[in-house]
A and B are shown apart, each in its own frame.
Chain A
Amino acid sequence: SQQGEEDPQALSIQEGENATMNCSYKTSINNLQWYRQNSGRGLVHLILIRSNEREKHSGRLRVTLDTSKKSSSLLITASRAADTASYFCATDPQGAQKLVFGQGTRLTINP
């Protein structure tokens, strides 16, 4: 079963704009991670935020985590055409030994 729900399911923006994707989940977690997947390829880890962290940055990525609302957001600033991909949030639930993925957001950056 998939724990996360991602919003929006699809997002299309112009190059240079910022892209924001949201993820909600249901259970207590150890950490939350974001992955990227280019069409037909495997997933690539982008960033991990632990349950005791509220915000984390990595290059053009900014992730927030609100454990009281059980939600996270991923912001990609100054988007580029190469950012076109699907983005998945994945939770590491407490007591579980596996990552549980959301259904993803398909991001299209128009040149």
Chain B
Amino acid sequence: DTGVSQNPRHKITKRGQNVTFRCDPISEHNRLYWYRQTLGQGPEFLTYFQNEAQLEKSRLLSDRFSAERPKGSFSTLEIQRTEQGDSAMYLCASRWLAGLTGELFFGEGSRLTVL
């Protein structure tokens, strides 16, 4: 068990560029979540998958954001035409739905800076 892995850890991009983040969850976990966290705030829910199905998307997830989880394994979060307001830490977490606890296992996050 290597934990939840996120790549890249840091991304600096210019406004208008596209960026993609990858999350590899704990292998036996069937639920995968994306959260966004800005400085000094708590994580805000963006979307979640159960296996390969995207079951809920927050209103925070504008049309410029898209997330996928092909084959129910790793997930990608793509942001198109980035804006300065997209600068944040993007956190991925996973859990086993039928587990004894409802805890989330988080990755170390991908920090995005849009210049």
- A residues contacting B by CB (< 8 A) are 1-2, 4, 30-31, 33, 35, 40-45, 48, 88, 90, 92, 97-104
Contacts and interface: CB of A to CB of B under 8 A. Distances in A.
Contacts of A102: 42
The size class of the interface chain B forms with chain A is 20 to 34
Residue from the set B4, B104, B108 with the largest chain A CB neighbour count within 10 Å: B104
B43 A88 contact: yes
Interface of B: 4, 6, 33, 35, 40-45, 48, 55-56, 91, 93, 101-109, 111
A42 B56 contact: no
B108 A42 contact: yes
A52 B45 CA distance: 26
B108 A45 contact: no
A39 B62 CA distance: 28
Contact of A30 (B102, B109, B111): B102
Given A45-B104, A48-B103, 15 more contacts: A2-B42, A4-B42, A42-B6, A42-B106, A42-B107, A43-B93, A48-B102, A88-B43, A90-B104, A97-B55, A98-B45, A99-B33, A99-B45, A101-B43, A102-B42
